[in-house]
Amino acid sequence: MAPKNPKQKSPNSPKQPTRGKKRSTMVASVNEEVEPVNMEVMGHPEIYPLVLTTKTQEIFNCRVDEDVTDDQPYKLIKKEDIFEDFKNRGAISDFHPVKKVIQEYPGDEILLVYDKDFKYGLNFYVIGTEEGKENYLNPPEVLEDQEEYKEYSSEEVYIYKAPVSKPWISLGSEKEIEEESVNEATKQTTYMISRKRRKFGAPIKFSDHNASSIKDAYIECTAYPDKNFTLQQVEKDVGMQVIPQIKDRGTQTRWTYPKNATTQYYPREFSEEEKEAVGQSKPFADFFDNVSVGQNSVEIALQQNEIMNTFIDDWKCLAEEEGTFVDKTDTQLKEYQSFTDLHSPMEKMITCVAWHPTIYGLIAVSVAVRLSFEDRVLNSGKLLLQPSLILLWSFSDPIHPQLMLEGPDDIFCFQFCPSDPNIIAGGCINGQIVMWDITAHADRIENIKSGGGRSKKPILKPMFLLEPDSNKEATYIRHCAVSSIENGHRKVITDIHWLADTFEINRMGAVFENRNGICCQLVTCSADCTVCFWDIRPQKALLPQTAEKKKEEVIEIPFDVPSTFLHLDLSWKPLAKVRLSKGETSVDHCPTKISLNESHISQTPVGLNTLHTFSSILAQDRAGKMEEINPYQNLEGGMAGHLKPIDEFCTKFFVGTEEGEVIYTDWKLERDPETGRLMSKKPVSMHTVHDGAVHTIQRSPFYNDIILTIGGWNVAIWKENVMTGPLLQSCCAPKRYTSGHWSLTRPAVFYVGREDGYIDIWDLLEKTHEPSLSQNICITMITGIKPWPSSSKQQLLAIADHFGTLHILEIPWTLSHPSSNEVSSVQYYFQREVKHLEYVAQRKVIRDKEIKQINMEKERKRSKTYQKSKEQIEAGLKLDYEQYLDLEKTTLISLGLLKISERRSFIDML
């Protein structure tokens, strides 16, 4: 049914353009087949609107107000002229959107109509049928018989009757639907089949076996009719479903084969005569005489080496033992404290862990419902009623969280702002970014005082001593801004980082100086194959508003939500977007973790030389911030002003993907020379090392160019600008790795969590092919690892598991205090591995050349055999035949089967 107003556009009709505006949406690419769009929704399926530019109007003599006017708004165009235009201009022809209609048109001339009022959305339209063209050129006459109309209208008068609601009466149809519905009676079972790492890529050899000779190899079960039982099917009731249930299963054949192998050998011994000769020989006697002279001194030296180590450095041991009272042989992690949320009605897991950068003994964790994707879809209604939280735990109260930050959906990653720890940014499972401002609740968690006596270590006051009634009910804090769900990520955000306060980027990815001097930009990655950069400042300068408007805005803001990032709420869009495209296929890379350079992100320096001054630095920093105005309260400056570009800035970063790939790429965008659109650069290097999704990709806190990646069942260590491969790649672990982290004080140590609840501790100075220590922490999968140096003599390790428990462990002395030359030793190890990779690359080139030479030599020999003449081949065959005849004659004579008379006849025959 057409709309009442002919000038009113249909909701499905194209957007009305202005006259003379260049078309941009109706041109298809050369290789695409455009489906013509008709006006079927308006009741005219034969009409196909299109845009004709001025050049096309001149070619077909259909210029507006000259060839087509208000009196004659149509033009008949031959199909041959349109086909000629397709040959000349191809896909850029204005008739290309209706190419299929023109090819299927039965007539020779097509009717083109000028749409002056843009009734169908564009300036022209064609009629795709002969019947429609005839109705337009020769419209049917309207019978104006007023008397018949009056009689008809007077006889039949429509009277409107309002519908009356009636109670619904059940006739048993719902029972039939319930009986015919398909219900799964059995519980679905999930199988996971794996094989050992050393068998990946191994050559497979197939062999034939007799199935009957091998036990349990083949059992034939032939079918036979049972005479004692006969069943005839008379009627069958079958319930069908539109979409059949699909099951995917895979299997692998074991490639090993049985074989027999034996080895037999005999010892080599002297005979009795040889033993007597050697024992009575003079060289043997002289040897014993020479050895027996210094026998006493040798025995004494051996005894001394067994009692004490003569090569030990006493001064070095003295320096290591100073200031410690623990046993250096203790290498096990010790349980210090644990936190569990006992008030949540649903089972949840910990997705991310972060220590508070300035408050001692405060740690934050994000929790998510422990459900699969199918279960989330089924229980989506219940999940809306459950809050998505970030819990802030304190050592003073392990039962009640100090604060609970609410989000729109489950949080899978978050990070404190380095410029202001009261600002927190997080990424949700639905692709949105959330911002919190806990400045109003800072007094609740920042209760630090100096202890009496000699100890000056910051102590967190127990909350029950400060506010007796504060822990009875948890404090919920709502988010103050959330990004636009239409313009952000399409899938779960897996990683988030704050960019450093020394630079900022624009939409092209170019680097400029930071005018604010605070962290104002973030970078996120998601499984939707994109890496996005966000700016928390308003993109446009805010216009001056009247006092009434300001008053209205203040009233609309909830009392418990700060107005710090109100300008971002539900309108926050990414500043720049980098898409990790594979190029040759339509499938893109799905990033899980990203690792930026040390100059890209803002980090808190940690080390043994800064641990003893950690508390004083935090106190001075806090005192200075109290005097200053919060810089995040005044972000109306926007993006205006002239920026100074930063030259020679490295914009490359590492990315880990779901397929186990480690990609080294650039975030700068470049313009496509053909289309002029902004597009991401191709990756600098890409290696598929891990056999599963990459869960950890982190730079070493001691070497900025060393990167640790963990994914699947192995671990790898990389060096930036070394494109040949990883410096270290571990073998397949007994269980899948799920998380990991570098040690903050020892450059050779890093921790790796497994899915069976064990944690592997690697020490590169002790072993490089396997972990130095494995320790069980829990009974479920480890989801996060975060170390933290609490003091110069104590370091803590936070480990989160799949059941929602946060374990705080104390790191032993041997894993927290490095030796005097450990930094140089580990660096020398990495340098040797780089040289080894270069040597392997050189050997590969040399080996390729050798293989080419061998293949060329084989081809040369083959060509020589083919170059032999026909006469040489015949001569060789004749010589072989004669040698065969001589052999036959000698064999017959030797066997006595050939007599003298037969010999002569045989010779004559030959």
Which of 383-387, 501-505, 577-581 has the lowest average pLDDT?
A: 383-387
pLDDT, tens digit, for every residue of 487-538? 889 999 999 999 988 888 888 888 888 877 888 899 999 988 899 999 988 8
Give the position of tokens 């309002």.
162
Q: Backbone dihedral region of 852: left (phi > 0), alpha (psi from -120 to 50 degrees) or beta? A: alpha
Measured between alpha carbons, how far is 661 from 690 in angstroms, rounded to an integer? Answer: 7
Buried b or exposed e, range 346-371, using 16+ CB within 10 angstroms: eebbbbbbbbbbbbbbbbbbbbbbeb
Average of pLDDT values for 755-771?
91
Compare 550 and 760 and report the one with higher pLDDT: 760
pLDDT value at residue 2:
39
Measured between alpha carbons, how far is 757 from 742 in angstroms, rounded to an integer? Answer: 19
H helix count then E strand count, the chain: 21, 39
pLDDT, tens digit, for every residue of 538-548? 876 544 554 44
Question: pLDDT category, 413, cuts 50, 70, 90?
Answer: very high
Buried b or exposed e, range 157-166, using 16+ CB within 10 angstroms: eeeeeeeeee
Percent residues over pLDDT 70 in the chain: 74
pLDDT, tens digit, for every residue of 142-177? 444 445 444 544 445 567 778 888 888 888 788 888
Q: Which two tokens stand for residue 495?
A: 């990683």
The type of residue at 216 is D
Percent residues over pLDDT 90 in the chain: 18
Q: How buried is residue 801: exposed, middle or buried, by Cβ count under 10 Å (0-12/13-18/19+)?
A: buried
Residue 899 pLDDT exceeds 80: no
Q: Which two tokens stand for residue 159?
A: 């009277």
The CA distances from residue 328 to 332, 334, 522, 809, in Å, are 11, 14, 42, 17
For residue 639, the number of C-alpha atoms closer than 13 Å in the C-beta half-sphere is 14
Q: Are the beta carbons of 411 and 368 closer than 8 angstroms?
A: yes
First vs last C-alpha separation in the chain: 106
Compare 26 and 435 and report the one with higher pLDDT: 435
Which of 158-172, 344-358, 410-424 has the lowest average pLDDT?
A: 158-172
Radius of gyration for the alpha carbons in the chain, expressed in angstroms and rounded: 42
pLDDT, tens digit, for every residue of 299-317? 777 777 777 777 777 776 6
The type of residue at 319 is A
Residue 619 pLDDT exceeds 50: no
Q: Which two tokens stand for residue 347?
A: 């089972």
pLDDT, tens digit, for every residue of 115-143? 888 888 788 888 888 888 887 888 766 44
Compare 519 and 643 and report the one with higher pLDDT: 519
The CA distances from residue 372 to 47, 248, 379, 712, 853, in Å, are 49, 18, 10, 19, 56
The CA distances from residue 166 to 127, 163, 169, in Å, are 49, 9, 9
Where are the chain's structural domains? 40-136, 407-444+473-538+562-600+634-688
Q: Which of 216-230, 580-594, 694-708 has the highest mean pLDDT?
A: 694-708
Measured between alpha carbons, how far is 865 from 537 in angstroms, rounded to an integer? Answer: 79
Residue 354 pLDDT exceeds 90: yes
pLDDT value at residue 379:
81
Beta-carbon contacts of 380 under 8 Å, excluding residues fewer than 6 positions away, are: none
Residue 609 pLDDT exceeds 70: no
Q: How many other β-carbons are positioned within 10 Å of the β-carbon of residue 812? A: 20
Beta-carbon contacts of 89 under 8 Å, excluding residues fewer than 6 positions away, are: none
Measured between alpha carbons, how far is 815 from 333 in angstroms, rounded to an integer? Answer: 9
Question: pLDDT category, 468, cuts 50, 70, 90?
Answer: very low
pLDDT value at residue 892:
86
pLDDT, tens digit, for every residue of 1-50? 334 443 344 434 444 444 433 343 333 344 445 567 777 777 677 888 88
pTM of the model as a whole: 0.58
Q: How many other β-carbons are positioned within 10 Å of the β-carbon of residue 892? A: 15
**Per-chain mean pLDDT for the chain:** 77
Question: pLDDT category, 741, cuts 50, 70, 90?
Answer: very high
Please state the three-class secondary structure of 339-368 as a single string.
EECCCCCCCEEEEEEEECCCCCCEEEEEEE
Q: In what order do the strands lie in the sheet with 481-482?
A: 411-416, 423-428, 433-437, 481-482
Measured between alpha carbons, how far is 521 from 575 in angstroms, rounded to an integer? Answer: 9
Which of 73-82, 226-235, 398-407 has the lowest average pLDDT?
A: 226-235
Helix (H) or strand (E) holding 678: strand 678-680
Residue 338 pLDDT exceeds 50: yes
Q: Are the beta carbons of 737 and 712 closer than 8 angstroms?
A: yes
Measured between alpha carbons, how far is 523 from 501 in angstroms, rounded to an integer? Answer: 13
Q: Phi, psi (5° rounding) for residue 787?
A: -85, 160
Q: Is the dihedral of CA 523, 525, 529, 534 positive or negative?
A: negative
Q: Phi, psi (5° rounding) for residue 808?
A: -105, 115
Measured between alpha carbons, how far is 683 from 537 in angstroms, rounded to an integer? Answer: 30
Question: pLDDT category, 471, cuts 50, 70, 90?
Answer: very low
Q: Are the beta carbons of 364 and 391 closer than 8 angstroms?
A: yes
Q: At what angle do helices 295-307 and 282-293 cross, to 10 degrees?
A: 50
Question: pLDDT category, 104, cuts 50, 70, 90?
Answer: confident
Q: Which of 15-29, 221-235, 661-675, 854-868 has the highest mean pLDDT?
A: 661-675
DSSP 8-state secondary structure symbol assigned to residue 222: -
pLDDT, tens digit, for every residue of 443-458? 777 654 333 333 334 3
Q: Are the beta carbons of 599 and 557 closer than 8 angstroms?
A: no
Q: How many other β-carbons are positioned within 10 Å of the β-carbon of residue 732? A: 16
Give the position of tokens 């009113």.
8
Q: Are the beta carbons of 424 and 438 closer than 8 angstroms?
A: yes
Q: Are the beta carbons of 836 and 842 closer than 8 angstroms?
A: no
**Which residues sit opposite 706 in a β-bridge?**
719
Q: In 417-480, which ranges are E strands?
A: 423-428, 433-437, 448-450, 458-460, 476-477
pLDDT value at residue 235:
83
pLDDT value at residue 724:
86
H-only helix segments in 156-238? 173-180
Give the position of tokens 């470049």.
670
